[in-house]
Structures are given as C-alpha cells and as structure tokens.
Chains A and B, each alone.
Chain A
C-alpha cells in the first residue's frame, strides 16, 4: 500500500506501460512540455523523450486517426484527448474507422489503440468541458469503454487496455484527479468485470466513475439509518458485466442506478433495461435512477451542483425505493 492521488496513480500506470513495452507511446495536446493539461503526464517527457511523449497540434481528428494508423502499423499508441467534449472532433475516426475496421475488413485488421480522456463535471468548467459522454460512446459496437474510479483502476486499467487487440477508450474522472488514498499495488486489475465495492442487503446502488464515491457516501449515510446498501462499480461500460450487476440485484431485490450522464438514452437506461429484462420477477420495486439534469452543464457552482447527482438525492431515491420516505 502506498499513499497517492488518482492523478499520480494514472501517471504510474503510464510510466509502467512505457517502460514495459517499447511500442507504447503517448501523444496528445500538451502531454509533453506542458506536462499534461491536468499534469497526468508530468515528468514523462524527461524520462521517455520526445518521440514517445509526443506533443500534437490542435488536431483531434488527425491525431486520433493517426493513433489508429500507428496501431495498425505495429505500435501501441496511447492517445490523450484533453477532455471528452473535444473527442467529438474525432468521432469520425473513433466510430467509422476504429470501431468498424475489424468487422468491415472481414477480420483482417484489429486496432490496438488506447484513447484516454477526461470526463465529468464538478470543477466549474461549464458547458464545453464538463460532460459525461462515455455512456454515449458505449453505444458503439467495436469499442471497449473503461471508467476507472479507484486508485487501483487508475493505475491498473491501462496495461490490460494496451494488451487488448481492440480500441479501448479510458475515461478519467476530472473531479478525482486530486483525490488521495491508499493504493493497493497488489490488487489484480481486469478490464472485463464490474466490482462490488461495498456489500449490502437492502438495495443495490449501481454507479461508475464520478458517481462511485457519491454512491459509497450515500451507502454510509444509509447505514446510519439502518439501511444496508450494496454498491456496484460498473468499471467497464462496454461490454457491460451483466452477471455481477444481476447477482447483486437478485440478492437485494432493489436497484438504483447512479449516472452522471443525462437521463434520456443514458447508460443508466441501458443498465435498468437489462435488470428489467433479466430479473423482473425478482424485484421488490421498480428500478430507479439518479442522473444529471438535462441541461448543458452550467458554470455557477450552485447550478452545477444542482445539475449533478449528489449524495442527498441518492439517499432520498434509495429510501424511496424502500418505501421509507
């Protein structure tokens, strides 16, 4: 165990991958000289040099697509997109090439690309730097979508993502960069399963990324009121690990999904649909969810806070599910 932050854990993962495989390189806007917009790659330029810590022009479309090309050419690129909103400039190569190429080419070409980007709100960055679009990207077959919410995942998801022969998008939670804790270096990290982060018996709180900490805080508060909440961390948003989610829900018989994405057409909707499809008769209450308000994320602190899922809202929804209001 060592004391560290989410940011440093991410950097540790990067450093280990770069040291371990000469095909791995990092490219993106300001990853080198600047040290990374959020200082994740700080110091890596000195350690690994300009060829492998590669500052790019402001050309999201081209450098994401170039990452695909480099992956096809035998490298193992890690492309950093500064913020999830900017990846919209690169949706074409992500969807039309990276996600489609293997199937479209009849199995001839896999794309072993990793794209890292910052997601989520909570830092007063307003409507062009704060959205949670990972659920939206999780709509696309051919991609794998990861949402590290713990220090272990922040450090450990990168290497298996690089080992994966297919394109993996890794969403780092902007609000977590400064979160400090004990990193368990011995924990095995996979990129295929959801994890139960807290055991409970009365209901399942299903969360990921920026809502995991809030769900855990809500569970703690609920415990004070005699309610035992289990917390499931989805971790992998595509492909979803139905088995872990359903095992929890079958045990608690109640499900509350907590998702920082917008409600309509959300990942929360997908998770709820799967629960209803597969465990309808085992439920004691209709599944419920807490999502972000359906507005572009506003700047003012009180408005931003009102937009996002918060602990009191999660607690209230959990109690509602148990008929305890």
Chain B
C-alpha cells in the first residue's frame, strides 16, 4: 500500500472527488427537470481515476478525454460554472453551448475534449505528442478512454504509432468493464488489457481505480517514465460506473448485486474513511468539504441559470476561423 500523502494534498484529492460527485448528482436532477438535454454520461463511481491521475500531471501537460469527461474538465481547472452553463446550452458555457455535456473544451488548460467518437481522441493525443516531440518539449499528453475503445482500430493504430515514434503519450484506460452495455468478455477476446497493449511495446501497468491513492501513485510513476523516456506508457484503471451509461439506459445488461458489490468500494467513502482513520481528516473537516462542494455546485447552477442563449445570428460563427483584419 502506498504511503499517505501530505495532509493538504490528501484533502485535495478528496475535495475533487466530492466536487465531481456533487456536480454530477445535481446534473442528473437538472436533467430530470429538463434543464440539461441530449446525452448525459455520469462518471459517478469512477472519480478516483480522474482525480488521482490528473493530479499527477504538470500544469502545461495536455489532456484528451471522452464524452464522460465532466470530472476531468473540472479537475483540470475548468470553472464549474462554465461546465454547467455548457450543459445548459448557454453562451457562457465553455463552448458557448455548441458542445454540451459530451464536448467540453478549454484552451486555457489545454483540455482537448470532450470526444464522443469512441477511440477518436487517441490518435489526436498521438498527434499532440508528435508536435511536442518535434518542438523538443517535455510536456505529456494524457489521453483517457474506456476499455471499449481498445476494440477500435484507432486505438491499435495509435498505440503502434506512439511506440514506433516514441511519443510522450500517457494512455489512461478507464476499465469500467462495460462498453455501454457490452461486457468486456463479450467484446474482446483478450481481456487482459495490459497484455494486449504490451504487444505494441507500450509499457503497461494495472491499478485499482477505486483507490485514489493507488491511482495517483501509479500515474505519477507512469508520467515520470514518459518524461524520462520520451515514449508512451499505458495505465489500466479498474473501476466501475455506478449509474447507467446515459440517461436512457435501463441497465438490462448487469445485475444489481454486481453494482452493489462495487458500491461497497465507493472511492469517496473508502478514501474519507481512510483519512479519518489516519487522522488526516476529522468529521467537521469532512463536513466542511461537503459544504464547500455543495456551495460550488449551487453557484455553478446559479451561473448557468443566469446564462443567456447565444443569438441565432451567430449560428454560423466559427465554422471557419474569422480572417485576420
């Protein structure tokens, strides 16, 4: 077991997991109220992965994520209000309401989506890493995707490219065992993902994705290896989605007992219990973190509610880059 973090950092990890959880719980309610529409994919249950992994990156590093990316965007530094307003379809949203839940982007934090074609972000990350390599930089490109994406040609092609050209990509595979509703064993013959990836000569490691401390340690080691070698690394995070795939999913493909078993390992509950036991946190401290997260969520909702629709006259803006005058 990894050693405890410095107290302030331990609280940061817990705080960020709580922020994601409370943001998404509220988003689900707002979906029910019709404030958020389209697809909404919740990350609830998987928070330890984004939080542990992203806190292992440096500020200049880039992130490419999937359509289940509210948490990643938040941890990377996007204001919660900009995320919520985007889901409301308001022009105060990070993408002026053009992207919605699945397409959060942020140039300021080098957050390259919000990609909703499964596997589509992986070669994009390889390209960002190629630019980094050609410019002689040492920044890492972290690319998140699910285990389902490993069945895509894009993943195989990109793993090969990254290994062949020794590109600084950190492949972050969030294995929640279901590609939408199709279990890993029902869609991929090789279910040992690290073995699959090792065949591409990308060094791979697996870690318990429900344990934020373990996630952070493993990712930090992998990031250091990317920076030291200049080449790619792969980390498989075994995790579990507590909620449905999207808001339209009746969950016919998994039994409730399995979900309950995983819920026993809730990353927020287990980590806060551990911090309490280790004396890094006390009950009032936990209550304060909860209150802080609740306040931030309500402020984000208020920001989104106060947001305005982009004028329809601007509909065609940014299909092309405006010409410099």
Residues on A close to B: CB < 8 A? Answer: 25, 51, 56-57, 59, 61-75, 77, 92-93, 96-97, 102-110, 141-142, 144, 165-166
Contact = CB atoms under 8 A, between A and B. Distances in A.
A59 B120 contact: no
B127 A92 contact: no
Interface stretch (B9-17, B156-164, B252-260, B271-279): B156-164
Given A57-B164, A61-B153, A106-B93, 16 more contacts: A62-B161, A65-B126, A66-B127, A66-B161, A70-B128, A70-B131, A72-B112, A73-B62, A74-B131, A92-B117, A97-B115, A104-B105, A106-B97, A107-B317, A107-B318, A108-B106
Interface of B: 62, 93-99, 103, 105-107, 112-115, 117, 120, 123-132, 134-135, 153-154, 157-158, 160-161, 164, 317-321
B127 A70 contact: yes
A69 B161 contact: no
A61 B98 contact: no
Nearest to A72: B128
A51 B130 CA distance: 10
B128 A62 contact: no
5 contacts: A63-B161, A68-B124, A97-B117, A107-B96, A166-B320
B132 A73 contact: yes
Contacts of B97: 106
A95 to B, nearest CB: 10
Nearest to A165: B321
Contacts of B157: 57, 59, 61-63
B162 to A, nearest CB: 9
Closest 9 CB pairs of A and B: A69-B127, A73-B131, A65-B123, A62-B157, A66-B127, A106-B96, A106-B95, A59-B157, A105-B105
A108 B126 contact: no
Contacts of A106: 93-99, 105, 318
Contacts of A96: 117, 120
Contacts of A107: 96, 317-318
A98 to B, nearest CB: 10
Contacts of B129: 69, 73
A97 B321 contact: no
Max chain A Cβ within 10 angstroms of own Cβ: one of B107, B113, B158, B320 = B320
A69 B125 contact: yes
A110 B321 contact: yes
B126 A62 contact: yes
B143 to A, nearest CB: 10
Given A62-B154, A166-B320, A105 B128 contact: no
